[in-house]
Amino acid sequence: MSHVEDWTIRRLLQWTTDYLAECGSETPRLDGEILLANACECERIELYTTYDEKAPDSVRDSFRSLVRERARGVPVAYLVGKREFYSLPFRVTPDVLIPRPETEHVVLSVLEKNKEWEGTGAVQCVDVGTGSGVIAICVARYIPNANVLAVDISEAALEVARSNVVAHEVQDRVELMRSDLFANVPQDAVFDVVVSNPPYISEDELANVAPEVRCHEPREALLGGVKGSEVIERLVPQSADHLRPGGCLIFEISPMLEEVACQIVAGDDRFGPPVVNKDLAGHARVVEALRQ
């Protein structure tokens, strides 16, 4: 008599890891674990305590459809509707960029800068291109005396940011506004910090990024223009209009834009010389400049 093997958690993970690897995932085991934990409505770590148990049919059904979508290239974060950033959970949908670990360096730069201002009263910050709201919310969570204006050109992105602001209980200190950069920000608004992870991919680069990114993440979150630097060209002078003397502009770049971004900052004599911070891989990632 042939023995039909049960679909245990272990066997589901092994099968899915092999399948997703064949489909081109670079992190097949991790993907499988996150999707299975989602189907089981448990934490990833809990899978290991039920490793040899048979998965119920309902779990297998929902896991199967998640794996099918993943095999088509849909990012895991969109399938489970969340992503961790700076050790906090955030809701994400296809209307927002999936927050990247590199962007945590932007938050770190703001927190470092804030150390110089500690004890000097409330910190006024604007996050330009807030997306899911990760930068604005981290700033509000980790700087208790910060008020943050979070702007985005996309109303759909602002809806996601709004739900994250409420989930993190910072609605009293994070205001959301639809705006093309500073267009709708009151002319007389003055900030201590302008922070941004602007779109900075060029048209050529976009044509060559992984299909998982190009086909699923919002184009307006990725594309900076033909050269990639067009949004930064507008962001820098508009930031100077709204920063107090001694205030700081902090923005993320692609390592390929390091020289161009520094030239744009250096070309506006309202800023001091730009300083570039590197990410963990040693790539130029964050530009900082002080308003003179």
Ligand X SMILES: C[S@@+](CC[C@H](N)C(=O)[O-])C[C@H]1O[C@@H](n2cnc3c(N)ncnc32)[C@H](O)[C@@H]1O
Residue ranges that bind ligand X, judged by CB under 6 A: 96-97, 99, 103, 128-132, 134-135, 151-154, 157, 180-181, 197-199, 220-221, 231
Which residue lies nearer to ligand X by CB, 47 or 148?
148
Q: Which long-range contacts (CB under 8 A, 24 or more apart) does 73-77 make?
A: 73/24, 73/211, 73/212, 73/215, 73/216, 74/212, 74/216, 75/212, 75/216, 75/217, 76/31, 76/34, 76/35
Whole-number minimum distance, CB 227 to ligand X, in Å? 15
Whole-number minimum distance, CB 251 to ligand X, in Å? 10
Whole-number minimum distance, CB 183 to ligand X, in Å? 8
Whole-number minimum distance, CB 116 to ligand X, in Å? 23
Quick count: other Cβ atoms within 10 Å of Cβ 3?
5
Whole-number minimum distance, CB 218 to ligand X, in Å? 6
Whole-number minimum distance, CB 41 to ligand X, in Å? 26
Which residue lies nearer to ligand X by CB, 40 or 285?
285
| Sign of the alpha-carbon torsion through 205, 208, 213, 217 | positive
Which residue lies nearer to ligand X by CB, 9 or 286?
286
Which residue lies nearer to ligand X by CB, 47 or 257?
257
Query: 174 near 150, Cβ under 8 Å?
Result: yes
Whole-number minimum distance, CB 95 to ligand X, in Å? 8
Query: 286 near 274, Cβ under 8 Å?
Result: no
Which residue lies nearer to ligand X by CB, 33 or 252?
252
Which residue lies nearer to ligand X by CB, 124 or 154?
154
Which residue lies nearer to ligand X by CB, 40 or 231?
231
Whole-number minimum distance, CB 239 to ligand X, in Å? 12
Which residue lies nearer to ligand X by CB, 231 or 286?
231
